[in-house]
Structures are given as C-alpha cells and as structure tokens.
Structure 1
Amino acid sequence: MSLRPNRPLPLATPAGVEVLTRIITEEPIPRVEIARRTGLSQAAVTKAVAPLIEAGFVTDQPTGPAEELAEGQLGIGRPVSPLTVVADSVSVIGLKVTPTDLIGVTTDFRAGIRTVRHQQLSGTTPDLVLERLTTLAEELIGALDDDAGPLIGIGVAVSGDVDAPHGVVRDSPFMGWRDVPVAELLTEKLGVPVVVSNDVRALTVAEHWFGVGVGVDSFAVVTIGSGVGCGLYVNGEVVSGANGVSGELGHLPLAPGDLVCTCGRRGCVETVASSDAILARTRETTGRADLDLSGAIDLAHAGDEHAREAFDRAGEVIGSALAAMVNLVGPELVVIAGEGVADYDLYEQRMREAFAAHAFGAAGDARLKLRSHTFDDWARGAAAIVIRSYVRGERPFQR
C-alpha cells in the first residue's frame, strides 16, 4: 500500500475543479447536466473530464436508453453516459478526537466508510493524544487492503478554535489544548499529509458534499452533546470565518450570567444546553449526585419535575439560539445532530416554542430536521475535509 499522495489530480484550471466537485457531490451526472449547472460549455466540460477518466479518477458508464433527457442531449432513446467517481481510486483516513476516545475510519473517494477503529484515552495531554493518534493511524493504514487506492491524506477533527490552513489547534477547552501544531507533528510521525479542522465544520463539509446539503442552497448543522456547535453553508461555501472561527452557537450569551462555561466565559448557551449542563442541573435539583446522563433522561421520561425542568431550560435556550442564527443567516434547512439528539424528545417542544417566538418573519420558515450522528460520522467528516482539500488543491495538496 502506497502511503503518499502519489496520485496527483490532473486539474489544471478552476473549471476542472468545479467539474470534479460536481461529479463527486452529484453523481451520477451527465456532461450536459454539468454544463447546465456550471455555465461551462459542453466542450469545456469534456476537456476537464478527459484527463480524469484517463487517470482513473472518474468513469463514464452508459446506463442504456434514457427515458428522460436533459435539454441539449442527444435524441430520444440515445444512451446517456453519466459520470461517476471511481471510489477506490484513493483512500483517506479520518480521525475524531474527544477527551475520552479516539475514533478513526478509512474511506474511499466518496467518503464511504470502509474500516472503523475506536480507542479509549487515559488523558488529554497533547503528547499522549498525538502518540495514540499515531498508533491509531498506523493501525488504519495496516487495514488498507490491496484493493484500496493510495492513501492521500489524514484528516483530524477537534473541537474548538482551529487554524485549519496551518493545522494548529489554537484553543480547545474540552481537550485543554492551546496552540498545538497537530498537522506538523503528525506529518513528521507518519509521513502523510495531515489536514486539521474544527469538528463541527468537518461534519458540515461532509453534509455539504455527501449528505443532506447536496442540492440545498443554504443550511446549518447544529450539534448538541457535550458542547453545542454550529456549521454554516451559505453563498456556495462552508463558512470558516476570517480568523477561522464561525458558527459558535454554543457561546452565544443567552444563558444566566452566573453560569461559567468550559471556555471560561459566563452565560454561554452550553452552560444550560449541553448534555453535561443538563446532567449537572438534574443532579443539583434532585440531590442525586450519583446520576449519570442516562439516569437523568430516565427520570425526565418518568415525569420527574426536576429532570424535566433541566431539559425544558435547555430547550428554551437552544430554541432562542437557533432563532438568533436563522435571523442572522437565513438558512433554508437546519440539521440538528450530535449525540444529544438521543434525548431530543425531552426538549423538542420547548425548543420549537422558543424558536417560533424569536425567529423573525420568513426566517422562521427554515426547516428543522433531526439527523442522528455517531462518532464514526464525525471521523468521516474529517476524511471529507481531506477529500475537499485534495480536489481543490489546498494545503497540503497544492498543485
């Protein structure tokens, strides 16, 4: 198995990047449909596709007589040759970092998961976690079989403020990290290009390219769990922010000011709406210090007024935060995801009431969609970041 990205993409122009992006995200898709959606001429599309087919990244396979043809295609009954990505042309590794676990996956060029590995962590110091990440990556590399394409890179998803262009975790309160050069250190250890991203932004890229965001003009991914995060897709791009920070829904000051967040600030949404905050509130009001989260959920389902109050309070603040977000950005779809959606029914009503009360005008027409995610999906998001960087020729894959 080749570990280095020895399969450079034959993309010499921005048009070629746009064409391949359309194929990856909307396959199977005929050349004429790419031309229609991009505004490129069919000749330009054909010119961009030809080297990708020759190099084995893309294939066109006639599907037989088409019942419906797009305007400008050949006559009725003539075969259509849709373009698709050759999934096994490359392999990618995605790694998700949490304070207690590491989750790793291998994927193909379509971000289809092939292998999954989990490892528990005994601490969160950068040296320990990077050592364990190296071991996990080596294990995943060893799991690549002869049918897998060359490994082009490794993606790492971490919560917090991440300087993605330089691969540095500037501030991760959950991990207790500041200014950790993850990409540089892992590249030295593994000899493979490494891309580092905020975990929610990575999940949003995966939804944009391979999930619910395909074909949607604008959407937001709101994650609820140990933290509350938000990824935004507007104006044709996942928002990263001028300084690499955006969509920090969990740190809007919408909660009581006496509550201190893990980030060190007061009144953040996370101080009320995260799973840790809900558990802490339930323990406080019930006097049950022995409760775990599943116990708090069971109490709430059984009608315990103290447990219900904790979830109601969380729903109120989440709904207000969602309303603030749609008022500012105006997405057509809001995907509610993360491990916290397992108890979504306990706060959904209060959340929707608060959302309706504070969303302004037509912004409130945004569709709220529940989407369950596992930690494997977060790791897949890290792999999707690698795929996007590889296609676009971004660091560390500059062409």
Structure 2
Amino acid sequence: MKTADPELMRAMNRLSVLDAIRRHGPISRVEISERTELSTTTVSAITGSLLDDGLILTRHEGDIRNAAARGRPRVMLELNPAAARVVGAKITASRMVFVVTDFCGDVLSTLTLPIRIDRQPISVIADLIEDGVRRCVVDAELSLKDVHSVCLGLPGVIEHRTGRIRFSPILKDTNVDFATEMSARLDTPTIIESDATAITLAHHWFGKARDLEDMVLISLEQTLGLGVLHEGRLFRGAGGLSHNLGDLVLGMGPDGVVRLSSQAGEQAILADQRGDGAFAEAVKLGRGMAHAQALIKAEDSQLLTAAIRAGEAIGLSIANIVTLFAPPRVILVGTSLALGAPFLKSLGQAYALAIPPSLQGVSELVFDDSNDEFWARGAAAVALYELYESPWSTTGPAH
C-alpha cells in the first residue's frame, strides 16, 4: 500500500490546526486535539512551531496574578492578526473590488473602482488591477512589502495551480498566464482564482456555511460558476481547474448541444433586450440585471419568459448536482437573483420535480445577496488558506 507523502501530511495537519484555531480560538491544545482528531503530541509540536513563527499567540484564561485562585490558568491559543496581510479582489467586466485583510481574515481596507475593463487589452487590465491593489494597500496604511500574497478572483475557467486563465468572458485573450504577469508587476506572490471558488470559501469562513464541512455554491453572474467544499477543503479539477457550470449539457437541440449558459446565462437572459438603447447602456455599465429587475416588475413579457426559462434550467441543474454530491446545503449567489419572484418560483418548481424522491429534504437551498466586498474577502481567504498550508520560518512563508 502506498503511504502518504510526509510533507503533504504535515501541511494538512498544520492547516487543520490553524483552521481550528481560526474558527474556535481562543482554544486550548486539548480542544484542538479533540476537534482535529490529531494526537496531543502532534498538536503540541505544531503549535510550538506556530508560536515560534509568530503565527499564533497565547492567552491565559483566568487571572495569573491572583495567587488565591485554584489551579494553574489555562493557556489558550489564538491567531496573531499581524502575522500576515493579504489582498483579495473581485474582478468583473465593469468594476474591480479590492480588500486588504489581516491573518485572521478581518478587513483592514476596501476599494471599489467602477471601471469597465471588458475586452480591454490584457496589458491595460493588468495596469488597472495593479493600481487598484497598490491603492487599497496604501489605504490600509501599508506597503506592498507588508503584503504576503494577493489573490485575484475572476469569472471563467481558471487553472489554479498555474495561475492560467483558460477562458474568461471579460478577456478577449485565452490561456493567459496571469499569475506570472501580476506576480512580476507587484513583486508579490499572486494567485489567480475562479470568483465562484473564492466566494465558496468566503461562505465557509465568514458566511452561510460556517457550520458545514461539505457544501455546494452556485454563482449566477456573467458566467455560471460552481464551488464545491468537501471535508472542509475546496474541491478542484485536474490542474486545479475551476468548474464552469455554464458548460453543463442539458440535452440536444436542432442546432446541436444545448448548454446551461444558453438558457440561464446573463447574456441569454438579456439577449432580447439588447436593442433597447437604455438597456444596452445599463448592460455596458454592469447594471443589466438591476435594469431587468425593474422591467420584470413592470411585467415585460420578454424578460418574464427569459427569467422563467432560466429558473427552470437552474432548478434542473441543481437537482443534478444534488444527485451527484448530496450536499447538506446549496448556496446560490449572484446578480441573476435580482430577477426576483418569477425566476425563483420557476427554479423551485423545477428543482422539486427533478430531485429524486430518495433525496428529497437532503439539501437546503439558500439564496444570498452578498456584496462585492464579500466576494473579494473570499479571494483573500484563498490567499490565507494557502499561507496556512505553507511551511514558515521566522521570516515568512517558505515557498
């Protein structure tokens, strides 16, 4: 039988201990051992190393100055907020949102730039992102030398391990080695991540999946993304590939393969309104769904039809995902939720019809309207996640 890689096991154990301290701290070593199912000897060795590297701090529970108190005070452990700073970003066609966080994931500064980057040359997009990162870092009263890592969340198909963007609707180029480009510009390790994966981790760390080790998230934005969390870890495909749910095949039609994006993608929903001058301008400014919401309230027949069609397609897709993974919770996020009652009603009805009887009641559907800063904080969490896994020395993460 093949044994596990010792370095990998050490990294996994280290991550497990740090995550337990992040989620439950201040926490004792005994409690860490119970929560992680690691031996007290292993926990003591890991926490000793973490203390040496300044990643965690001790806190004494009780008054150590009170000699009359019985027993010794408990030594509790918590993360050191100042151990590292990271930058997270959500990059869309019409805006860029940046956050700087400390080692605990608490936000130190935010910056939103309503700049249309859709189909700009990659060099221009890189310039704009670089400026945004630098400005947000300065707003946190830091310099880039104080930042350990940057994570940029973008829509599309992202190869996490290499930082290559295979496809993104906001880029006219494909197979872009964006991690190398941005790491060189910022002189800081830069991670490229699917925005859907980033907000999946945001919900696990800070949001509506904090109580779960397994969940699925579906993002309904310019692209249809899928995030999967299994046993507290992000699940990715070969090479760290993100999951583009919009490419899911629903069946065959007169023109060939019918994919989910052709029924429920933002472009498909808004397609019939492109001739409307005001609507076209709203789409360019990234406000297409907000404008569509107003038209649906006014009972625009074309948009009502598109919203119902999209809801049905998403409902069927969720039923298929639940059939495959049976997660306790499916979180839906993104701008398409602005389509409101017609979309949500058709989604719910299609899901109820398609879910197998044996799986009824297994998965809870949760709808979330998190703002862009929360998505960017998820990207920061991805950067922190990788720092938690990294071996450290007294000078920082040893890559």
Q: Would the alpha carbon gap of residues 179 and 248 (structure 1) be closer, same or farther in structure 2, given more than 3 Å must change?
A: closer
- Which of residues 177, 180, 195 in structure 1 aligns to 2:176? 180
Residues 197, 242 of structure 2: 8 Å contact kept: no
- Aligned to 2:226, what secondary structure does the other structure show? strand
Of 213, 221, 244, the match for 1:248: 244
2:94 is aligned with 1:94:
no
Q: 2:269 aligns with which of 268, 278, 285?
A: 278
Question: Aligned runs of 1:1-399 on 2, under 5 Å?
Answer: 14-64=12-62, 80-119=74-113, 120-122=115-117, 123-145=119-141, 150-254=146-250, 257=253, 267-281=258-272, 283=273, 288=276, 290-291=278-279, 292=282, 293=288, 294-365=290-361, 366-393=363-390, 398-399=398-399
On the 8 A contact 1:164/1:244 being kept in 2, the answer is yes
Bigger mean CA offset, 204-213 vs 360-369? 204-213
1:217–1:17 Cα change, 3 Å: closer
SS of the equivalent of 1:386 reads: helix
Q: Give the match's secondary structure for 1:178.
A: coil
When residues 258 and 113 of structure 1 are mapped into structure 2, their CA distance, relative to the original with a 3 A threshold, is farther
Q: Aligned equivalents of 1:185 and 1:176: distance in 2? A: 16
Which deviations, in whole Å up to 9, do the C-alpha atoms of 1:169-188 show, x marking residues without a partner? Answer: 12223322312111111121
Aligned length: 371
Displacement of 1:146 in angstroms is 6.1
SS of equivalent residue, structure 2 residue 351: helix
Distance in 2, matches of 1:257 and 1:103, equals 39
Mapped to 1, the partners of 2:337 and 2:381 lie a distance apart of 23
Q: Counterpart of 1:94 in 2: which secondary structure?
A: strand
Q: In structure 2, what is the Cα distance between the partners aligned to 1:300 and 1:173?
A: 26
Where in structure 1 are there 5+ consecutive unaligned residues? 1-10, 66-75, 260-264
Moved more, 11-20 or 137-146: 11-20
2:293–2:340 contact (8 Å) kept in structure 1: no
1:95 partner SS = strand
CA spacing shift, 1:48–1:253, aligned 2, 3 Å: same
Counterpart contact for 2:157–2:244, Cα < 8 Å: no
Q: Structure 1 pair 79/121, CA: closer, same or farther in 2 (3 Å)?
A: same
Conserved? CA contact 1:255–1:269, under 8 Å: no
How far is 1:78 from its partner?
Answer: 7.8
Identity %: 25
For 2:164 and 2:252, locate their aligned partners in 1 and report how far apart those are by CA, in whole Å. 32
Aligned partner letter, 1:341: L
TM superposition shift of 1:345? 2.9
Residue 391 of structure 1 aligns with an amino acid whose one-letter code is Y
Distance across 2 between alignment mates of 1:164 and 1:397? 19
Offset from partner CA, 1:14-70 (integer Å, 9 cap, x none)? 4333211221234343322211122222233223212323443212324549xxxxx
The answer (yes or no) to whether the contact 1:105–1:116 under 8 Å persists in 2 is yes
Taking a change above 3 Å as real, the CA distance of residues 193 and 146 of structure 1, as seen in their structure-2 partners, is: closer
In structure 1, what is the Cα distance between the partners aligned to 2:240 and 2:143?
37
Task: Output the aligned Cα RMSD.
Answer: 3.1
Runs of 5+ unmatched residues, structure 2: 1-8, 64-69, 283-287
Deviation, 1:97, is 1.8
